[in-house]
């Protein structure tokens, strides 16, 4: 497993493709998974021969040095009459390879990414990260401001490396009349596309406090339509024991909303 907080890479045997506007920009059978020291999730870098280099131009306005592990060679992507600034770069430690932005970019770079024949979102899946949805029989109660909003004895417990256990409850065991759906939608490479609810009364509870995956990827099928709540801002009682509210990478955003 790569050491966190350091620059690491390893080869992958997955067939990876990336497209924009129906044009295949990346078609690689020799991708390299890259972990940057400042990012907890991996990226891909590809051999130059497996990238449409003819669509790349030297970046007109490259970012300041120090971005992407000291990379100084950046590329704009020119395709379909559009120019995507700083869409790709080369790592000094990985000569002959080109990486593309997937996230933390002002706009979409490549519209679709595939591993083999499965579309993937947000970032490549980390081979050292597990996401296990496990059916359970624990008595789970969710409270907001002292009021019970959901209660079940048939949760699906989702164990995800680096995050607290999430408790996914059958929708019929959640008082959805207390909530209203929002327009928020997020993507997870391990679970799929999520839809959200906010508490109708609002108050001190952040918006989008609950979510579900109506059409999860096959590996997460067990959580289909089940509703989960952010442990960080609601009270979850499991078998009579109130859980401590964890501090996670979501906490700051939730408390500011």
Q: List the chain domain ranges.
A: 8-120, 131-256
Structure confidence at residue 15 (pLDDT): 98
Pick the CATH number of 131-256 from 2.60.40.10, 3.90.550.10, 2.170.150.40, 3.40.50.1980: 2.170.150.40
Q: What is the pLDDT at residue 235?
A: 97
The stretch 181-195 carries a mean pLDDT of: 95
Could you tell me the pLDDT band of residue 233, with boundaries at 50, 70 and 90?
A: very high
What span, in angstroms and rounded, lies between the C-alpha atoms of 156 and 175?
Answer: 17
Bigger pLDDT: 106 vs 44 = 44
Architecture of domain 8-120: Beta Complex (2.170)
Per-residue model confidence (pLDDT) at position 113: 95
Task: Give the DSSP letter string of 91-133.
Answer: -TTSTTEEEE--SSSSS-SSSEEEETTEEE-SSPPPTT--EEE
The pLDDT score that the predictor gives to residue 108 is 80
At 106 the pLDDT is: 61
**In this predicted structure, what is the pLDDT of residue 105?**
56
Instruction: Report long-range pairs for 116-122 (Cβ below 8 Å, ≥24 apart).
Output: 116/14, 116/15, 118/217, 120/189, 121/187, 121/188, 121/189, 121/193, 122/187, 122/188, 122/189
Give me the pLDDT at residue 257, please. Answer: 65
Instruction: Tell me the two tokens of residue 257.
Output: 């909303």
In this prediction, residues 55-71 reach a mean pLDDT of 88
Instruction: Report the Cα 84 to chain-centroid distance in Å.
Output: 22
Averaged confidence pLDDT in the chain:
93
Distance between CA atoms of residues 72 and 68, nearest Å:
9
Tens digit of pLDDT for each residue in 135-151? Answer: 999 999 999 999 999 99
The per-residue pLDDT for 251 is 85
Residue 69 above 90 pLDDT?
no
pLDDT of amino acid 3? 61
User: In CATH terms, are 8-120 and 131-256 the same topology?
Assistant: yes
Report the pLDDT averaged over residues 155-182. Answer: 96
């Amino acid at each position: 497993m790569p050491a966190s907080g350091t620059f690491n890479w390893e080869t992958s045997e997955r067939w990876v493709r990336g497209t924009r506007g129906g044009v295949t920009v990346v078609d690689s059978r020799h991708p390299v998974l890259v972990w940057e020291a400042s990012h907890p999730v991996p990226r891909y870098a590809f051999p130059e021969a497996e990238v449409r280099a003819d669509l790349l131009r030297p970046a007109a306005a490259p970012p300041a040095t120090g971005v992407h592990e000291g990379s100084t060679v950046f590329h704009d992507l020119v395709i379909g009459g559009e120019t995507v600034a700083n869409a790709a770069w080369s790592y000094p430690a990985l000569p002959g390879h080109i990486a593309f932005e997937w996230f933390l970019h002002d706009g979409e770079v490549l519209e679709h990414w595939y591993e083999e024949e499965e579309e993937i979102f947000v970032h490549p899946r980390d081979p050292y990260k597990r996401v296990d949805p496990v059916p359970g029989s624990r008595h789970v109660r969710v409270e907001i401001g002292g009021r019970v909003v959901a209660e079940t004895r048939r949760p699906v417990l989702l164990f995800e490396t680096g995050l607290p256990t999430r408790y996914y409850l059958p929708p019929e065991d959640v008082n959805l009349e207390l909530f209203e759906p929002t327009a928020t939608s997020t993507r997870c490479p391990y679970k799929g596309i999520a839809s959200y609810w906010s508490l109708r009364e609002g108050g001190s509870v952040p918006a989008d406090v609950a979510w579900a995956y109506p059409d999860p990827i096959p590996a997460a099928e067990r959580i289909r339509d089940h509703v989960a709540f952010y442990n960080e801002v609601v009270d979850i009682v499991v078998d009579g024991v109130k859980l401590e509210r964890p501090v996670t990478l979501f906490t700051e955003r939730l408390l500011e909303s």
